[in-house]
Chains A and B, each alone.
Chain A
Amino acid sequence: MKKGKPRILMKQAIMRRMILAMIPSIIAAIYFFGWRSLFVVLVSCAVGFLTEYIFAHRRNEPVTEAVFVSAIIYALILPPTIAWHILIIGMVFAIMFGKMVFGGFGNNIFNPAMSGRAFIYICFPVAMTATWAPAAQGTWGALTTWSTGLAPDAITSATPMALLKAGQTAPHLLDLLIGRLSGTMGVTSVIAILLGGIYVFYTKTANRRIIITIIIFYALANGFLALIKAPGAAGLLPALMGGGFLFGAFFMATDPISAPRTRPAQIVYAAIIAVSTTIIRSFSVFNGGFMFSLLLANMFAPILDYGFKLRSKRKGNAGEKLRTKSEH
């Protein structure tokens, strides 16, 4: 990514690896939805950088590279047809209210990318949910087009998750795997996510405990719902592979700042996300299940940490069992 002078930009090795891990998803976004996707990513990076710069400059602090991670994640979980002004408003909000007002990097309670997305999701519900661009077909995908959102059938397209909710048949699993589906930009392709996901898992860039717990609990919850044939349940595999769940599990729930730091708290935190995502996706009127769950769990992260620290102190072996996650 961009190399700045040390005073302007703080180098963060973890964040660089995160960015690297998301490149497959960016490529998938360009391949399926056109070159506009790349510009959406670049614009949100630029806006995010500027917003953080304005705040950090006043405090004589460098801009953190984490801002690019937030910006890329934010861009990848938006619809490909996202209007530019909405993109910018959400990004400014994400960095300003999601991060800088709490005191900048390391102090934010909520995941900045998700808070930005939640803001525009509630602010512009029509723009965020009504139209979805179809994924380009053919060998060359959308590599020759600016945006598939300009196609005439863009308006009628619905995301697999919305279709599931409306009681229609689940999409073909192979489609989910490759990602040739309409949906948010960077998260339709399970293969691309797994490529990056395995990288962050293997290099321990992202917290393995959170990733594993979240996937297990999510699978259990959905498996249970499928087993009792609950109305609205998606079924195990479509649920696991659809709607950017994996993207969230690998790249968002593992955000080292907004996730808890003690081990048992991380497990509880991951379980909260997994179970409430299942509940919201299956039974509520909203589609943004992962978004709301993550923000909810973020809220509980500090008190979970506090509670478990207190408990271990009472047991008298503080610092032994609960080694904080600290730096990698």
Chain B
Amino acid sequence: MSIRDRAWFPIIYMFVITLLLSAVLILFGSATRQRVKNNERIAYERAVIQSLPIDLPARLSTSQIHQIYITNVYDTTEASAGALRYIKHDTLVGYALPIQGPGFWAPIKGVIGIAADGKTITGVSFYEQNETPGLGGEITKMEFREQFVGKQISQSGMPVQFRAATDPLDENSVHAITGATQTSNRLSRFLNEQLAIWRERITARQ
């Protein structure tokens, strides 16, 4: 009776194969763990920096991003009400408020930058989203994001209004994405909710 005909052989065989393959995966996984972690970190840091009023070269290497982040971006304090602080030459230049909420397919995570006056928006950036490319995915495009630059956070009601593409804009409103009503609505809801909370807290501190 050959070894292959024994009743225990399939079990041992499966066990050995599983062991072998998972060993390789675990090895590869741990070899790249730091890298994956860094990637996530850099994506976040990039979003923070993009939302702030910083003159950036067109292509930024990951080390440059990290450099700027560790020199100029400071953790949140009581006074900044949950937002990161961007400090240059010992003066506060702006805030970066991380926001997140449900998107159409998956959560959207991003950062909204606000100038030191606590009213002027300096930019928005998203580091995690899974919206439909070409529709909701347009929130990551410059055309959508740069609308926010220079807008004023309305001091009552909705901080930033999302309007239909055909409607005229004022200093508190931006155009929603045509064809991506759901993404626009959900983004508008959580962005405004979280911005409104921050608005209350920051005015209370000032």
Direct contact of A and B (CB under 8 A): yes
- Quick check: is B102 within 8 A (CB to CB) of the other chain? no
- Quick check: is B38 within 8 A (CB to CB) of the other chain? no
- Quick check: is B62 within 8 A (CB to CB) of the other chain? no
A125 touches B179 (CB 8 A): yes
Pick from A126, A155, A285: contact of B181, CB under 8 Å = A285
- Quick check: is A83 within 8 A (CB to CB) of the other chain? no
CA distance A265 to B158 in the complex (A): 49
B179 touches A130 (CB 8 A): no
CA distance A155 to B179 in the complex (A): 18
CA distance A285 to B165 in the complex (A): 16
A130 touches B166 (CB 8 A): yes
Least CB distance from A254 to B in Å reads 32
B165 contacts across to A, CB distance below 8 A: 126, 130
CA distance A155 to B165 in the complex (A): 13
Residue of A nearest to B166 (CB): A130
B178 contacts across to A, CB distance below 8 A: 125-126
Least CB distance from A284 to B in Å reads 10
Least CB distance from A155 to B in Å reads 8
Residue of A nearest to B180 (CB): A125
Residue of B nearest to A130 (CB): B166
Per-position binary interface string of chain B over residues 177-188, scored 1 when its CB falls under 8 Å from any chain A CB and 0 otherwise: 011010000000
State which residues 116-133 of A face B: CB under 8 Å.
125-126, 130
Residue of A nearest to B179 (CB): A125
State which residues 193-223 of A face B: CB under 8 Å.
none
State which residues 138-185 of B face A: CB under 8 Å.
165-166, 178-179, 181
CA distance A130 to B165 in the complex (A): 9
CA distance A130 to B179 in the complex (A): 12
B166 contacts across to A, CB distance below 8 A: 130, 155
CA distance A108 to B166 in the complex (A): 38
CA distance A125 to B177 in the complex (A): 12
Residue of A nearest to B178 (CB): A126
CA distance A126 to B181 in the complex (A): 12
Residue of B nearest to A125 (CB): B179
A285 contacts across to B, CB distance below 8 A: 181
The 9 listed contacts between A and B (C-beta, < 8 Å) are: A125-B178, A125-B179, A126-B165, A126-B178, A126-B179, A130-B165, A130-B166, A155-B166, A285-B181
**Leading 8 A-B pairs by shortest Cβ distance:** A125-B179, A285-B181, A126-B178, A130-B166, A125-B178, A126-B179, A126-B165, A155-B166
New A-B contacts (6) at CB < 8 Å, excluding given A125-B178, A130-B165, A155-B166: A125-B179, A126-B165, A126-B178, A126-B179, A130-B166, A285-B181
